[in-house]
Amino acid sequence: LSPRQVRLQLWDTAGQERFRSLIPSYIRDSTIAVVVYDITNLNSFQQTSKWIDDVRTERGSDVIIMLVGNKTDLADKRQITTEEGEQRAKELNVMFIETSAKTGYNVKQLFRRVAAALPGMDSTPEKSKEDMIDIKLEKPPEQPVTESGCSC
């Protein structure tokens, strides 16, 4: 990322139905939606399409969406493969990453990626020297000053 500070405000609804009525007010002014599922819970993965649809209903295509498979620290209890998560993200045309909030695995990367996707946060490398043109500005020669004090 460029050396620009980005402030992210997070609203965690924990995917619970009792918060569903509040979602439109959270989403209304949002630029990014992070939809998280538990890789050890098939039901939470199945709900992601509905949550992403809710985001798009409220914001249209004017939102960056990141699908996140969480709890990679519980790999032995995994019910959803990384490939299934990637495939869902591809089908829904959203970004994808897996994390572990417990161990911190990929958490910084998640936020770096969503911040880099924000408008005006180009992640393209600086132009190479070959693409640059040097322009040398020289000071114009000084005109002799006349008796009146004018150099004209």
Residue 129, φ and ψ in degrees, nearest 5: -60, -35
Residues 20/23/25/30 CA torsion (nearest 10 deg) = 180
Kindly state the DSSP code that residue 140 receives in the 8-state scheme: P
The answer on pLDDT for 38 being more than 90 is: yes
pLDDT of residue 21: 73
What's the predicted TM-score (pTM) here? 0.73
The Cα 111–Cα 81 span in angstroms is: 22
- Please state the rounded mean pLDDT for residues 20-35: 80
Q: Which domains does the chain have, with CATH numbers?
A: 31-117 (3.40.50.300)
pLDDT at 66: 96
Q: How confident is the model at residue 1, as a pLDDT? A: 46
